[in-house]
Structure 1
Amino acid sequence: MRKHLLATLAIVAVLFIGSLALAVAFGGPSTPPALASANSPFETVDYSGLPELSYYAAADRADLAYRQYPAKGDPKGSAVLLHGSSADSRSMHPMARALVDAGFAVYALDVRGHGGSGVKGHVDYVGQLEDDLQAFMAQVQPPGPVTLVGFSSGGGFALRVAGGELATLFDRYLLLAPFVSQEAPTYRTGSGGWVNVGLPRYVALMLLNQLGVERFNDLPVVSYALTERARQTLTPQYSFNLAQNYRPEADYAGTIRGIQRPTRVVVGAQDEMFNAAQFSDVFDVATQPVPVAVVEGANHVGLTLMPTALAAVVAAMDSLGSTGTAQPE
């Protein structure tokens, strides 16, 4: 009887390990068809006046890129911009100009794994993006009060910071159509066609990470709906490490409850990737008010490009200023 049980357990273990191996090897993401609403708007963006890349040194001595937009006159604060998934600092150029016109100094980052920062689609470990952000703030020292402004996945990462141990790194937070979680009611399946997730590989790597095995974390788990042209310059896939880091923690409600600094959310009413109507309920669990502004006529990418949406972003920045600045503990 004992031998039979041991043999059964051995067979189960072999099947489990075999299933994990197959999922890791062959369970990666397929490439989704190009999503016009995410690609086409950038073809007509005016990039005149785009600043050259500047660099700061990360903890691992990597040179990471950002674009600096000086304020016109004495700044009333600064905005550190985090772009959306697969993108880079160029995508935030219209927003940066609008904020500069409104009196802010602006810094648009190429988050590691994008643009001129590191190997596209990769970070070395989950948590490296937080380390990079601390290095940026220590070296560049934007004039305060400083607002971390994140769009889409960048908004999800900004939420991760706002509700985490580094919450006091910034004075204020502005989340623009933020990715909250695939489990949140704000999420549309596949982000409305923008994302394909290699779910078998993703789940297998999560299990392996729980067992302390991280050697396969550089494998891609997410693919984005870019055109062939965009794939040449942007970031078409994310590794497991980057996908896990450039987003909120898994307990998104706990992260929202952990928000300590003044925070606002802005979303387009016609957002095709997320459910705009659900954001107020999702952020209602916060221990302090997190107002949600809905911009009529704006879809997901339009939130960063349309004049009415940019005006709403500037208004949100100004309203954050009226709440006062929390002091570090």
Structure 2
Amino acid sequence: MKLRTATLAVSAILSVVLVALAAALAAGGPTRPKPMLSLSDPFKDVDFSALAAPAHYAARDGAQLTYRRYPPAGGLPSRGSVILVHGSSANSQSMHPLAQRFAHAGFTAYALDMRGHGASGPRGDIAYIGQLDDDLEDFVSTVQPAGPKTLVGFSSGGGFALRVAGGARQALFDNYLFMAPYTNRRAPTFRPDAGGWVSVGVPRVIALTLLNRIGITAFNHLPVLAFAINDAPRAELTPSYSYALATNFQPYEDYQRNIREIHKPAAVLAGQDDEVFVAARFAQVFTDAGRPDIPVTLVPGTGHIMLTVSPAARAAAVQAVERLDGLAGR
């Protein structure tokens, strides 16, 4: 009798858990936030007339993924390659000002449409967690950028660059530059909702995280993030991320270990007036992770998007890569 009672109690608890999980999966997704103009307005004054034409490479699953190549200005020999990874919701076009600045400085710049963005596959989703890492390796092996090679990631792309820099594929690049990188929701740089840029479907994230821990990934296509984009550029931007894409386009969950495992020259660049992250605490993030040797530079009077647009910030990015190349050479 006692065994039957206990079995019934366990069954009742499991039923409640399953109902809660089902409810979180069905109705626990993100809501659309109000447009954040400070992240879209800076591009109104950008001249895209010299935007590099899209090129393509084949990923291991046969998908044709998009990138743009900016050769060194004036036909000079290349000083090395800079591979640019855009921020959340964006695509290779958002890296155009930065790519031009590197090209003018004598580098070959490559701006990627990460899978799930721009012209690289269906927007907002990927097939599995880790596919972005595979795609990046396929890009390097197919396109073969000349060395020294620096991976430069901005915002969420900076978080992804950090993931690569502290992961098993870090030898793909000689240097890493993290520009206003997303690190983790528990990090001291984190602002709630990224300062208003993102809405998180917390119940769905929790449910999917629990399911993934027991090997259930069938629901990883469900959206968990929604971005504060304008109506006008929605055709160009990615309005939401699935659980798979959101999880892959950031550092590993143990972000401090991720930072400690970086064995290549690396640096951080951020705008002093960043409205998405708390820029003054980037140094603390890397110090707390045991890597105070990774330098953090703050560009005065610069917000989040302006870090990739303003002349002073772009010049600082070039200088950072030049310093990293010097370290890699030694």
What range is the shorter-chain TM-score in? over 0.9
For the 8 Å contact 1:78–1:146, the answer to whether it is kept is yes
Q: Which residue of 1 aligns with 2:209?
A: 206
Equivalent residues in 2 for 1:228-307, closer than 5 Å:
228-284=231-287, 285-287=289-291, 289-307=293-311
Q: Do residues 121 (structure 1) and 136 (structure 2) align?
A: no
For the 8 Å contact 1:258–1:287, the answer to whether it is kept is no
State the alpha-carbon separation in 1 of the partners of residues 51 and 15 from structure 2. 56
State the alpha-carbon separation in 2 of the partners of residues 203 and 143 from structure 1. 42
Cα 1:174/1:26, change in 2 over 3 Å: same
Encode CA deviations 1:183-239: one digit per residue, 9 max, x unaligned: 111111000000000000111011111121111110100000001112222100000
1:169 to 156, 168, 172: 172
Q: What's the CA shift for 1:44?
A: 2.0
Look up the equivalent residue of 1:300 and give its one-letter code: H
Q: What's the CA shift for 1:286?
A: 4.2
Cα 1:239/1:225, change in 2 over 3 Å: same
Look up the equivalent residue of 1:87 and give its one-letter code: A
For the 8 Å contact 2:151–2:173, the answer to whether it is kept is yes
State the alpha-carbon separation in 2 of the partners of residues 233 and 266 from structure 1. 26
For the 8 Å contact 1:268–1:276, the answer to whether it is kept is yes
State the alpha-carbon separation in 2 of the partners of residues 213 and 126 from structure 1. 12
State the alpha-carbon separation in 2 of the partners of residues 232 and 186 from structure 1. 31
Encode CA deviations 1:268-322: one digit per residue, 9 max, x unaligned: 0000110111111111234572100000000000100011111111111111122
Aligned-partner SS, 2:40: helix
Q: What's the CA shift for 1:2?
A: 2.2
- Over the matched positions of the two proteins, sequence identity in percent amounts to 48
Look up the equivalent residue of 2:95 and give its one-letter code: M
Structure 1: which 4+ aligned runs deviate by more than 2 Å? 285-288
Q: What's the CA shift for 1:325?
A: 3.8
Aligned-partner SS, 2:280: helix
For the 8 Å contact 1:218–1:241, the answer to whether it is kept is yes
Q: Which residue of 2 aligns with 1:57?
A: 58
Unaligned runs of 5+ in 1: none
Cα 1:115/1:240, change in 2 over 3 Å: same
For the 8 Å contact 2:175–2:328, the answer to whether it is kept is no
State the alpha-carbon separation in 2 of the partners of residues 287 and 184 from structure 1. 15
State the alpha-carbon separation in 2 of the partners of residues 239 and 291 from structure 1. 33
Unaligned runs of 5+ in 2: none
Q: Which residue of 2 aligns with 1:94?
A: 97
Q: Do residues 9 (structure 1) and 13 (structure 2) align?
A: no
Mean Cα displacement is larger for which, 2-11 or 206-215? Answer: 2-11
Q: Do residues 311 (structure 1) and 315 (structure 2) align?
A: yes
State the alpha-carbon separation in 2 of the partners of residues 145 and 184 from structure 1. 31
Q: Which residue of 2 aligns with 1:44?
A: 45
For the 8 Å contact 1:172–1:325, the answer to whether it is kept is no
1:136 to 121, 124, 139: 139
State the alpha-carbon separation in 2 of the partners of residues 255 and 324 from structure 1. 20
State the alpha-carbon separation in 2 of the partners of residues 74 and 286 from structure 1. 38
1:219 to 219, 222, 236: 222
TM-score normalised to the size of structure 1?
Answer: 0.97
For the 8 Å contact 2:191–2:277, the answer to whether it is kept is yes
Aligned-partner SS, 2:220: coil
State the alpha-carbon separation in 1 of the partners of residues 329 and 18 from structure 2. 52
For the 8 Å contact 1:171–1:325, the answer to whether it is kept is no
